[in-house]
């Protein structure tokens, strides 16, 4: 052991005591699992609400897409399927609903990981391994690489997920909450525009072909314009859908990966052995 290592020994021990204090406080005195779980549950509720809105919109668009005007006595008459113009929109909404379901699953996985990390035996294990690492460093100044890796992994399991969840939710509330609310409001009220048109286009089962022709002939010039209006409104829906997809992709993929990577870097820096240079 050289003189540089010896002179740094008091500083190392102060650092080790600080690490021990932080780990024990985080595990037992001021755990962050409860607020983190609450915030992940809020994210799950948002994802499920958006999924339900997407399914509702998809259902009424499917009805409108299947609308057919049919008044063909003896094979002669009028047979139109104006709702087929809504097929691309319907496909987009189906993909949107699938993504929202995946986002809900992601939040559910985070809740499971939070439950694992918050278990009392996990805190016991983290503290035990941290004590072993501190004792090794205290007496010899260094610790085995396997012990460092084990401690880093346990610190990530115990602290990275709740810290990531809290940071994720904080970023959502500051930068994304208003955008989410406005986009969801439009998606939730959009089915009304489709329902009105779809109900108007549905044939009455009690009508004969003559009554159907009499009812539909005056409306035929405006029928295409009505569905064109729905498609024009759908451009706003598509824009909001894309924004919601981007928002949930950030919350369930991009931000968690980035925050977990940052947590891994911090844990490595916390446990990494000091590098000394020989004097002279």
Mean pLDDT computed over 180-206: 66
pLDDT by residue (tens digit) across 230-277? 666 667 778 888 889 999 999 999 999 999 999 999 888 888 765 545
pLDDT by residue (tens digit) across 16-58? 888 888 888 888 877 788 889 999 999 999 999 999 988 888 8
What is the spatial distance between Cα 184 and Cα 146, in angstroms, rounded to a whole number?
49
- When computed from its CA atoms, the radius of gyration of the chain, rounded to whole angstroms, is 30
Cβ contacts of residue 102 below 8 Å, gap of 6+? 252
Closest-CA residue to 169 (of 114, 237, 96, 122): 114
* pLDDT for residue 261: 93
pTM: 0.75
- Residue 271's CB is within 10 A of a number of other CB atoms, namely 19
Beta bridge partners of 71: 78
């Amino acid at each position: 052991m050289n003189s540089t290592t010896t002179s740094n020994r008091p500083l190392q021990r102060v650092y080790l005591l600080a690490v021990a204090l932080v780990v024990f406080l985080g595990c037992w005195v001021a755990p962050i699992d409860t607020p983190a779980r609450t915030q992940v549950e809020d994210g799950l509720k948002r994802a499920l609400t958006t999924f339900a809105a997407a399914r509702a919109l998809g259902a009424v668009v499917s009805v409108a897409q299947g609308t057919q005007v049919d008044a063909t006595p003896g094979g002669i008459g009028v047979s139109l399927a104006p709702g087929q113009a809504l097929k691309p929109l319907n496909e987009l909404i189906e993909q949107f609903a699938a993504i929202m379901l995946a986002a809900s699953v992601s939040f559910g996985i985070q809740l499971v990981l939070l439950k694992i990390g918050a278990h009392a035996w996990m805190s016991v294990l983290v503290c035990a391994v941290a004590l072993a690492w501190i004792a090794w460093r205290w007496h010899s100044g260094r610790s085995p690489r396997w012990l460092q890796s084990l401690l880093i992994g346990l610190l990530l399991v115990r602290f990275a997920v709740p810290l990531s969840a809290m940071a994720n939710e904080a970023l959502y509330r500051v930068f994304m909450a208003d955008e989410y609310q406005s986009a969801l409001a439009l998606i939730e009220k959009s089915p009304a525009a489709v329902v009105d048109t779809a109900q108007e286009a549905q044939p009455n089962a009690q009508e004969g072909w003559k009554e159907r022709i009499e009812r539909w002939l005056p409306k035929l010039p405006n029928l295409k314009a009505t569905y064109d209006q729905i498609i024009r409104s759908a451009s706003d829906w598509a824009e909001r859908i894309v924004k919601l997809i981007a928002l949930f992709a950030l919350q369930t993929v991009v931000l968690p990966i980035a925050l977990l990577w940052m947590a891994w870097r911090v844990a490595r820096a916390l446990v990494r052995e000091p590098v000394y240079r020989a004097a002279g």
